[in-house]
A and B are shown apart, each in its own frame.
Chain A
Amino acid sequence: MIMNFFKFFLLLAVPLLLEANTLSGEALAKRLHLSAGTKAVIQWERVFKSERKKRKYKIETLSPSEQDILKEYLISHAIDSDKPTVAGE
């Protein structure tokens, strides 16, 4: 059993090395003071389609790839998005 646990936790090391220093959508949202739960999916989509709104929320200060990551995060955490279902969280 101990050996199996040991092998199992060795698996953890691989993604750990790969993932370090990657900026997440959550961190980008925090940096711009945006809270995903304040808007519905369709409203966040509207924000990213409008240059005026992107300026308003300072999203335009991010690179295109960062904008994509942020958009994915905000939409997937929007107030009406599919949410994790877990006891007591």
Chain B
Amino acid sequence: MGNKIILSSLMLFSLLHAQEVTADKPTIEDLIKEIQKLKESIKELKAAQKENSSYIEEVDEHVEKTETRLLQDKLKFGLDFKTNLDNFSKKYASGRVVKNNNIWSNKLMLNAKADITGSMKFYARLSMYKYWGSSYVHPYSSYDNMQGRVPADSSIYVERAYLDWFFNKDGILPFAVTIGRQPSGDGPSFQFKDNTMRKATYSALLYDGAADGIVTTFNLSKVLKYKKTYLRFGYAKGFGYAETANDVGNAYIGASNNDLKDTNVYGIFLDTRVPYLHNSLVQVSYSKMKDIIANPLDGSAMTNKNLGDMDIYGAMVEITNLKNMNLDLFAHYGYIKTDPNSNTYLRYGGLLNSPGSSASKSGDAIWLGARYGFGEKAKYKVGLEYNHGSKNWVSLTQGSFDVYNKLATRGDAYEAYVMYVANRYVNIRLGYIKIDYDYTRSGWFVGEPLPLNILSPSADYDLKSLESAYLKMNVNF
């Protein structure tokens, strides 16, 4: 290539100077000198080319080494770290007031991801959540769906570990199977408060906590020619039962017995977006909880019972950055209906029923919120949230990161906050939450919710209201 260019240049040079040559009548010696000069130039170019080739080889070797190192990093890690300061004020039905100020806690989440093949991805989240200076593990913290989700000790829990296996990626109906401990905590629309992207699959009003299961997701976007439309069928083990008496040897494998069945959850979920709203999510769902176990931590088949089934319906919509106005909006609705059996758990009663009653109950809840960003690059944000739950409202939010589990409230909850976004990865939030309870046992499946009564035997520990002024810092990197 180099030689050709030089010879062409030589010919061009000869033609251009033909007249001059004729005019000045150069001697043969002059031409020989010119040729000699050109030969030297060719030699220099060849040397330079050789040097370049060895340089390219060297660079190629470095690129390969870097690639090898990258390919060895099978897991990629990300970090979520939260520091919380809460100041609680609790008022009980009896009128007793308890204040717990200066309560600090940390939550660490190590997020891991692996691209196993082009059609297989693995995700995990390892979590630690504890109060400062305390490693007390509350019995409820041991519930399977609460591990790593509510404050306990400094142990690391596996909050998520699942494989996404994609099929028919280039076909008209791609689908994926998600197997393992699911992304079912911190779901929509908690991401606004944390200033992150969507962190889980399901509306947080209905589901918030860890869950083991299998989910098949059909991507309907191509079939319907409508973007971001997915239909999911899910199966999860709500509460697996292990009888203490069988907790020996191989018997543990088949711990469930004929007296008590595991709680299984089956669900169907449709995700899509609102027309013209590019950053929106609409989710409509139906789930059935079969054989709800009264107390997953009670290992005795003598006392523990299956209390019946429950249907859960949900609908939600959320819009991120509406019309580029830095305004986010969301609204969720949930409805439940029980199908109890006649079982009673200890003195508490049946599924949302008093002892001896097996009436079907229904309840509903609504959760509304807005967040607005202002200042340069919307570095400051202000948010408002409200939720209301009826007398019989209950859902699967016991594993909520929010220690108040405010979305389970049978009553009203109000929250307001201001946020400072320090940079892309860190934000600080100052907020206030107030919860007014109308009925007892918010978040419980067992027993009939009762109006708060000063004369009730439990009046001294039935919460009437809860307030907290909080300060939280989120690092998401």
Residues of chain A within 8 A of B364, CB atoms compared: 1, 4
B274 x A16 contact (CB < 8 A): yes
B198 x A16 contact (CB < 8 A): no
Query: Is the interface on chain A under 10, 10 to 19, 20 to 34, or 35 or more residues?
Result: 20 to 34
Please, how many angstroms separate the alpha-carbon atoms of A86 and B178 in the complex?
Answer: 10
Chain B nearest CB, measured from A26 CB (Å)? 6
Chain B: which residue is nearest A26 at the CB level?
Answer: B278
Contact with B317, one of A11, A24, A86, A88 (Cβ below 8 angstroms) = A11
Residues of chain A within 8 A of B197, CB atoms compared: 76, 82-85
Centre residue among A5, A15, A24, A87 by max chain B CB count within 10 A? A87
**Does B315 interact with chain A (Cβ within 8 Å)?**
yes
Residues of chain A within 8 A of B198, CB atoms compared: 84-86
Residues of chain B within 8 A of A15, CB atoms compared: 274, 277, 280, 319, 322, 329
**Does B261 interact with chain A (Cβ within 8 Å)?**
no
**Does A41 interact with chain B (Cβ within 8 Å)?**
yes
Please, how many angstroms separate the alpha-carbon atoms of A76 and B321 in the complex?
Answer: 13
**Does B386 interact with chain A (Cβ within 8 Å)?**
no
**Does B333 interact with chain A (Cβ within 8 Å)?**
yes
Contact with B183, one of A16, A22, A85 (Cβ below 8 angstroms) = A85
**Does A69 interact with chain B (Cβ within 8 Å)?**
yes
Q: A8-B331, A19-B319, A86-B183 are in contact. List 7 more A-B contacts (CB 8 A).
A: A1-B362, A12-B274, A15-B274, A19-B323, A82-B196, A84-B197, A87-B182
What are 28 A-B pairs at a CB distance below 8 A? A1-B364, A4-B366, A8-B315, A8-B331, A12-B282, A15-B274, A15-B329, A18-B322, A19-B274, A19-B319, A20-B276, A22-B278, A24-B278, A41-B424, A69-B324, A82-B197, A84-B198, A84-B199, A85-B199, A86-B198, A87-B164, A87-B178, A87-B215, A87-B232, A88-B175, A88-B177, A89-B219, A89-B230
Q: Which residues of B contact A (CB under 8 A)?
A: 123, 162, 164, 166, 175-178, 182-183, 196-201, 215-217, 219, 230, 232, 274-280, 282, 313, 315, 317, 319, 322-324, 329, 331, 333, 335, 362, 364, 366, 424, 476
